[in-house]
Structures are given as C-alpha cells and as structure tokens.
Structure 1
C-alpha cells in the first residue's frame, strides 16, 4: 500500500486543535477564575460561596449545551463549529469585563459564557482527530488536549500580573483580543474535518481510490444504541465524579491553600502554573499509554494519582509536598480528560462520536457544577477545608469500580455491522487496536 510522503496533514489538525483548546473556556475557568474571584472579592466584598456560584452557573449552562453541540459537530464538523464558538466566547469575555458591583451582572455574564463557549474546548476537535488518527489516536488526542497546559500555565501568571497592574477588566479584555486575533485565524487555517477528501486514510496511509467523502470513514453505534449500552452509563457516572473533584479543587484552590498553608495569591498562582504544566505531561504521557494499554487501566492509574494529591493537600503544609500534590493533580486530570474522547471512539465508534463525547462532557460538568459550591459550602459551614478534601478522596471509589467492570473495546467488525456496512478501511486499519483491546480485556 502506498503511503503519503512528507509531514502527515493530521499533525496540522493536531496543532490547530491545540491552539483552540489551549485558551478555551474550560482553561479560562479552571486556570483564571480563582485569580479573578480573589480580585472581585477584594474589590466588591463578595464571599467565596457567592463567587463559586458564578462558576457553578457557567458549568451548569455549558453542560446543557454539550448534547446540542455534539449534534452540531456530527453534522457540520469541527472547523465551522469551533470557529463560531471562538467568536462568541470573545464577545462573552468582553461582556464579563464590563460588569459592575452587582452579583446579578456577574452571574449573567458567566451564564452567557456557559451558553456560547462550549465549542472552544476539546469536544469540538475530538471527531476530526479520531478520523485523522487510529493507531496514534491516543497520542494525537493527548497532544491536542495537552495544549491546555499552555493556557493553564499562562493564564494564572499573566492574569495575576495584569490584574495587579491594570485591573481585572483589562485582563479579560486582553484574553478576548487574543482569542480573536490569534486563536480564530489559526483554527480556521489548520483544522480539517477528515482525511478522506485528501485521498488519505487515518494515520497517513494513502487510499487505493480517489478522494472520498468524510462519511466513508465513519462507522459505529447510533445514538440510541449508545444510550442503551451499560458501558455508556458506567463511563458517564465515572466522568461525573471526575468533574466534581477537579472543579471543586481548581475553583477553590486559592481558598484552600490560603487556609491550609497560609499562602498568598501570588504564591498559589505559581502552584497553579505547575499544575497546569503537569496537565501537559498527563495529556501526552497518558495519551501515549492509551495506545498501548487497555484504557480502563489507564483510568484507574489517573484516579490513584489524583487521590494521593488530594490527600497531600489535606495533610501537609510543606511547600515541596504541596508542589508534588499539584503535579500529581495536574497529571491526573490530563489523563482523565484524554479518556473521554478515546473511550467514546473505542467503545462506540465515530458515527456518533461528538454526540457521545458531548454526553460524557454533560456528565462531567454536572459533577463540575456541583463540586465548587458544595466544597465551599461544606468548608465554610464546618470551618474546615480538610473535611471536603477527604470526602472527595472517598468518592474516587465510584469511578474506580466503573473502570474495573468495563470489558473489551468494540471491534471494527462490530462497529461496521452496527453501521450497516462491511468493514473496508484498507484491510482493517484498526486491527492492531482491536487486538490490544482483546488482549487487555
């Protein structure tokens, strides 16, 4: 079989996807909200539960959009949906930059961000990446999603500096300008929805025939079949707990470490940056592992690392151990986020991949919406941040049990049969992954 010479076009898709993901709304909320919340609390006298409510509103409303967004992505593709979302996110950031001393304005601005910005995140790019890659799918997803580390490192540090020198409104306006001038053009230029129109198969193999429509590479379960699968509901529950844990910590990290270790916001910003850098390690490292190990085992490893990080936050004031906890937590969430699109494609195929990923994100953000306000409420009512940290550790048993009970991946033949077609992707390009799934089941 002939192969494509030169740099495989799929890596350009990875690069464009990474640029969009690096500064999407998830990174903005996870990496920038804590610094903004501290500034708002200082200027307007708002309490931590009041501020956490803004993040909860954003998360809840973005959760509502993911199923619709998944349908749009399956219909219109990554490039168009992601580009439109970046424009809308820019406008929402500008609206947030203009709020006054009004909690209602704060909540309305975060409601707007939640409704319009879902497509700035990994969900917009997962289908395109899954069509461009098969044997290296985990690595491609990990590299693209790992770019979140860039934003997670830059947003807290640069945000804290701009807030200190020019104010929080200037920090938000600067991010909005960056979205419009840098992210939008590069996503539109680099992201392409499928290799088929270029006469290519996944991973860069040349097709034996002429260029084909993108749907030629799409096989898998229908939406209805996915929703009837016990595997789907196990994974949805696992991701809900993961979302609750991650956002309970990231939204309240300044609050937590100022209480447990007496750290100042500038010191905590550095810890956030280290955690953000660790996300990159987790994204790429766990993406590489996903191409080699049965994914549920990788999921259990990420959960174990996250639990150790939480335990360190609850028990130590030593700076070195706090940094180590941040590294563990960042790497763990990097691996956990890789799991959603990867498991969706391996168990259910690409036919409804964006929809399935959207549903998984809905589960993740239902948990995420509960986490920040629940953590802040328990911590303030009990006058302790240690108790809710231990409760989060205990919750890890739920996704652990879900991963333990998962079976083998769906084979290409199974997915093709569900799609009503004979598997014909150049002698089954996915045979090695099918064997991996059987071997590790």
Structure 2
C-alpha cells in the first residue's frame, strides 16, 4: 500500500489539479497566451486521459500493477521533459495530449488490482488510504512548484517534477508494489497458508470475463450511476465561483476557502468511506454519497449563511471521496478480481464522460432559465437515479475464496 501511495501522490491527477493552474499562468505570461488558449490544454488532457482509462485495463490485468505503473511513470516523466521544452501553443497542446495518453497509469487505476488481491476484509480501507495519497501531492506540488517557478522558471519546475518521477517514484513503486500475495506464499490479508491445511496459494483469479461482465445489467447500472455522479459533481465544481457569487453574494476569497474545505474533505471522505465499505453493504454507501451531493446542491441553491455553505462544502468533499472509493470496490466485489482493472477503467470512463458534459450542461440550463437555482435543484433531484440504481444491485454474487479463509482464521483465533 505504501508503494501505491507514493505513485498516486505524484501521479498525473494531482499534477493536473494542483500544478496546472500555476504552470499555465506562468507559461501564458511567458508566451503571451490568453486564458481560453491555455484552458484548451486542460480539455485536451481530460478527454484523452478519459479515453485511455478503459484501454489501460487489459495490460494491467495481463502484466500486473507494478510493471504497468513503472512504465507509466517513466513515460509521464518523459512527457514532462517534452512539455518543459515547448515554444509554441501547438507544441503546448501536443505535450498535454501526450501526457493525457501516457499518464493514466500513474493514478489509482494502476494499483486497484494489486490492492484487491492483497486485501479482502479491509479492501475498502486500503483503497481509501492509497487514493488519499493524492492529497499529499496536491499539497506539495503547488507549494514547491510555485517556489521553483518564482526562483528558476517553469521549465525548471517541470524538470524537477520529472526528476522526482524517475528518481523517487519509479524505484519505490518498483520495489514496494507487489502484484499478488501468492508468490510470497500468502493469501489476501497476509494469511499464511499453514493456517489452513490443504489450502492452495494462488491468485484464484475469481470473477467473470470482461465480455460476460459488460453483458450484465449490474455493470450498466453501475456505469450509468457513475456517469451521473461525475456529471453532477463537475457541473458544480468548475462553476462554483459563479454559483456562490450569485446565490450567496460571496467574495472570491471566501469561495477559495470553501474550495479548500472541499479538498480536505475529499481526503477524509476517502479514508472514512473506505473504512465504512468494509463494514456496510457498498450500495448503501453509494446511496449515502449521492444524498450528500443532493444536499450540497440544495444548500448552494437556497442558503446564504457561510456556516451552512461550509457544511455543504464538507458534504461535497466527503461525497466525492466516497464515490471514488466505490468505483474499484464495486468492480471487485460484484465481478471478482479477474478483470478488475478493465472494469474499473470502464467505470472511470463513464465517470469522466459524465464529468465532461457536466459544466456545459449546467451553463446551458442556467442560461436558458436565467438562474443558477433551477439547475442546482435539477441536479439534486437527479440524484434519485443513481440512488435507485445502487439500491437495485442486491447482494454481492459470492464471497471471494480468500475472504472465507480470512474469516475462518479469525474464528480459529477466537477459539
């Protein structure tokens, strides 16, 4: 889990979320580019990374987390070096297109299979802790990135991050990430086979093929739910300044604090909901997250008190943290670990496909209605659909074999 955390902390997700605004501003000032021009690079990156998520699943399931993550880190570092050498707007776009194509494997996607194979009883908590490492990068990248940009320029900042990828992340991930407990003679959760006479130690590879999974209604229920969740969150997030200045009359400084609270809440939401996933039926956790999202939209639409809006921001962050934990967790619990990376990739594709539509849909409805309140109320009401889809999933198909071993061990120790 430590190796996964190192890779995720400095992956493309925290780089883009925390570093892109600073980098784009410095490069725009250097070359005289406008804000809309540099913003197009963000669109290019998001679209291409979204497309690559389902493509990454096959090599991950075929070659394992460690090798794919190491290759992705190396390619990401090379892409950062190329970005540091751009001299025109077209080169800027091409560099971000390359980053979008090669860096999906530097994020949680690469490590989901290994975590699913290593953890059964505490899989949700393991996924939550690993994903929460993004907050480390989200904190360090802007602080040190801005310092380097101010003292040495944006080229030095990019080369420094590329060096961190190659000198720190790549060797630590190669050393610490283990694809499966089986080669070490262990079962998931670190259970030694001696505790179970006659129990074989292998991956078990339980679960359906991708084709069989995509043919199930369960897969499509989840995919639709995640697409709506992605659309709902990203309908509000990029428009939050516009929303809160209109509905609550808040200043940009006040809204910046609200956004900081959202970021911190995502961290605690990932860990907290990851812990709950191991104790509560996962679809119920899904319902909890969409209810929180609905409450946030309604508060933004109707309330002006800063304290209440702050509470809504906390709920928004917690909900997003829980929803991102759900993607790999549901994929492994309902479909097994055999194709977990590919299914997780398709769920990410659905989530970010909805995310790309969210901001535009919100702007269109807001302009058509002449108000930000109506689209917020619509978003709140829309959460009924993913909630209903989660509730219709039913029980997990079967308990994974290793999970039964873990429970047996606990029983024998208690005896």
**What is the TM-score with the length of structure 2 in the denominator?**
0.84
- Higher deviation after alignment, 243-252 or 128-137: 243-252
Q: Distance in 1 between matches of 2:237 and 2:19?
A: 10
1:61-111 per-residue CA deviation (whole Å, 9 max, x = no partner) reads 112212221100111100110111112122223333444562x44432322
Structure-1 residue corresponding to 2:34:
46
- Post-superposition offset of 1:387: 5.7
Is the aligned partner of 1:93 residue 2:69?
A: no
SS in 2 for 1:362: helix
Q: Distance in 2 between matches of 1:307 and 1:402?
A: 16
1:142-191 per-residue CA deviation (whole Å, 9 max, x = no partner) reads 11112122223344555556556665555444433332232222211110
Structure-2 residue corresponding to 1:220:
207
Is the aligned partner of 1:197 residue 2:183?
A: yes
Structure-2 residue corresponding to 1:153:
139
CA contact (8 A) 1:59 1:366 kept: no
Q: Distance in 2 between matches of 1:316 and 1:154?
A: 34
Structure-2 residue corresponding to 1:187:
173
Structure-2 residue corresponding to 1:236:
223
1:24-35 alignment to 2 at 5 Å?
24-35=11-22
Q: Distance in 2 between matches of 1:158 and 1:133?
A: 34
Is the aligned partner of 1:404 residue 2:382?
A: no
CA contact (8 A) 1:148 1:279 kept: no
Is the aligned partner of 1:76 residue 2:75?
A: no
Closer/same/farther in 2, CA of residues 224 and 391 from structure 1, 3 Å limit:
same
Closer/same/farther in 2, CA of residues 40 and 246 from structure 1, 3 Å limit:
farther
Closer/same/farther in 2, CA of residues 426 and 182 from structure 1, 3 Å limit:
closer
1:17-416 alignment to 2 at 5 Å?
17-36=4-23, 44=32, 46-47=34-35, 52-100=39-87, 102=89, 104-159=90-145, 168-208=154-194, 214=202, 216-251=203-238, 261-264=250-253, 271-315=258-302, 319-375=306-362, 388-412=375-399
- Post-superposition offset of 1:23: 2.2
CA contact (8 A) 1:89 1:113 kept: yes
- Higher deviation after alignment, 114-123 or 312-321: 312-321
**What is the TM-score with the length of structure 1 in the denominator?**
0.80
CA contact (8 A) 1:307 1:396 kept: yes
Structure-1 residue corresponding to 2:413:
none
Q: Distance in 2 between matches of 1:257 and 1:31?
A: 22
CA contact (8 A) 1:55 1:251 kept: no
Q: Distance in 2 between matches of 1:383 and 1:157?
A: 39
Q: CA RMSD in A?
A: 3.3
Structure-2 residue corresponding to 1:8:
none
- Higher deviation after alignment, 149-158 or 133-142: 149-158
- Higher deviation after alignment, 293-302 or 142-151: 142-151
Q: Distance in 2 between matches of 1:35 and 1:383?
A: 33
Closer/same/farther in 2, CA of residues 156 and 427 from structure 1, 3 Å limit:
closer
